[in-house]
A and B are shown apart, each in its own frame.
Chain A
Amino acid sequence: GAGVSQSPSNKVTEKGKDVELRCDPISGHTALYWYRQRLGQGLEFLIYFQGNSAPDKSGLPSDRFSAERTGESVSTLTIQRTQQEDSAVYLCASSANRGREQYFGPGTRLTVT
């Protein structure tokens, strides 16, 4: 069956521009998570959705980062006024329910020049 998909796979943007990253979770998965993987570092949790509400936004690094989710479907992570330190691979994962195993998408590699 279809797994988690993310688009674009690669994004190069200039410093100061806004970017939108998209995640399509596995159909029926109510929980959705965003993580960030910076070069040479582990994965950092960004935000968690249960349905279309976000009870845990504790990992968002600044108010330039925001995310939304439509129902139990697509999620968009938006980064405003991008900075070079935002360069990373952004990974999305979905789960049938919180606490269950998470299935990851291939990620979006963001490069801010």
Chain B
Amino acid sequence: AQSVTQLGSHVSVSEGALVLLRCNYSSSVPPYLFWYVQYPNQGLQLLLKYTSAATLVKGINGFEAEFKKSETSFHLTKPSAHMSDAAEYFCAVSDDSWGKLQFGAGTQVVVTP
């Protein structure tokens, strides 16, 4: 069985500040891990994915995430927030043979000037 926990349903950051979104997972097998972003009234866009090739994964729009097996974590970071980063972010895990995604509850990011 797999599950995902995102700490913090809402995060407010100042423009230019570090963005840190936390994700912890549980999985009975080595998982695939994903971060998706959802802008208002749009579908989900893939930010990045972990598939065991490298523990530090770089994605689009300056985001990156580090897979830490010992901590069962896959936190998302961006060094400097932009106003355009305001959106909802979802962490997801897939560890079954069908590839279905189990999503976290999401974190709404607000960027203040």
Choice from B90, B99, B105 contacting A99 with Cβ under 8 Å: B99
Q: Is B94 an interface residue (CB 8 A)?
A: yes
Residues B101 and A102 in contact, CB atoms below 8 Å apart: yes
Using a Cβ–Cβ cut-off of 8 Å, how many residues does chain B contribute to the interface with A? 22
- What total count of A-B pairs have CB within 8 Å? 58
User: B88-113 vs A: 1/0 string, CB under 8 Å?
Assistant: 00101010011111111110000000
B43 contacts A56, C-beta separation under 8 Å: no
The answer to whether A48 and B98 touch across the interface, beta carbons within 8 angstroms, is: yes
Question: Chain B at the A interface: mostly helix, strand, loop or mixed?
Answer: strand
Q: Cβ of B45: which chain A residues have Cβ within 8 Å of it?
A: 104
Stretch at the interface among A11-19, A37-45, A68-76, A78-86: A37-45
Of A42, A45, A95, which is in contact with the most chain B CB atoms at under 10 Å from its CB? A42
A98 touches B44 (CB 8 A): no
Hey, which bits of chain A sit against chain B, CB under 8 A? 4, 31, 33, 35, 41-45, 48, 50, 55-56, 59, 91, 93, 95, 97-107
